[in-house]
Amino acid sequence: MPELPEVRVHAERLAASHVGAVLERFEPITFTAMKTAGVDPGRAVGSAVDTIRTRGKLFIIGVGPTSFVVHLMQGGRLVPDAKLSAKPRNGIARWRFADHDALLLTEAGKERKAGVWVIDGDPIGQDPLAGLGPDADTADRDQLAALLTATRVRVHGFLRDQHQLAGIGRRLANEICHTARLSPFAITAKLGPDEVDRLHAAIGGCIDRSIAFERTQTEMVGSANRPADVHHRTGEPCPVCGDTVREIEYTSYTVNYCATCQTNGKVLADNTTSKFLK
């Protein structure tokens, strides 16, 4: 799933090309495209795009009085569309503009979870943005410490919880834990001051590294092509210590880690009943 760095930088690309474009028509292509029913997207027709920004992993396209909030989910992409095919491959929804390429929301795979929320007024306090934690790279050290102290969960799960910190997914969680030299199973409420310091620095550092990489790309690339020291590197040497990168496999995702760097050499059992490690 695209995370904060990929979404934020892609929003920069789209803003550069589409802010100021006048909306001619919004077209839901699939039955699952629309996640709201109470606001008529036609209200935005004739208005110009005034902003394309992000909150966590979501895009916010502001068009006059209306905001279109877009969630790519696992396989979605939001791309310029010059072809305007009647039945675009994997098409979910399309925005047509005067004198600009359309924007096409696509979703590969069969899940069909990507979609669009149409919102009147300020979207920040409304679904699906309501309840999100701060964007992960905006939380200061004390704010992070307060969030950690208020919970008692595994660090890896905490990082991926959008109600705690918005924008972090599986890849960044793996990279942050490795950079911070923390077990993915460490318990949030038990972290000491030095561990909180390392975690806060790792969050900012890993996001900055990813943003810098994304800005070298012309489009959003797949997860396998994004920078990573441990994520999807099972069996490869850790670039820090040379130990073998290991994995803990769950039904829908995999946790990667280095035992030498993160767990004092202890190998975590590859199942959900693994003991918590400090």
pLDDT confidence of residue 112:
80
Could you tell me the pLDDT band of residue 73, with boundaries at 50, 70 and 90? very high
| Digit-coded pLDDT (tens) for 186-235 | 999 999 999 999 999 999 999 999 999 999 999 988 877 888 999 999 99
Q: What domains can you pick out in the chain, each with its CATH number?
A: 4-120 (3.20.190.10), 141-262 (1.10.8.50)
Predicted confidence band of residue 277 (pLDDT cuts 50, 70, 90) = very low
CB 173 within 8 A of CB 160: yes
Which is nearest to 246 in space by CA: 255, 230, 234?
234
User: Mean pLDDT, to the nearest integer, of 253-269?
Assistant: 94
Is the pLDDT at 273 greater than 50? The verdict is no
Q: What mean pLDDT is reported for the chain?
A: 94
Q: Which helix (H) or strand (E) holds 93?
A: strand 91-98
pLDDT 10s digits, 85-143: 999 999 999 999 999 999 999 998 877 899 999 999 999 999 999 999 999 999 999 99
Cα–Cα distance between 54 and 126 in angstroms, integer?
Answer: 14
Higher-scoring residue by pLDDT: 269, 191: 191
Say how far apart CA 129 and CA 138 lie, in whole Å: 16
Angle at Cα 132 formed by Cα 4 and Cα 48, nearest 5°? 65
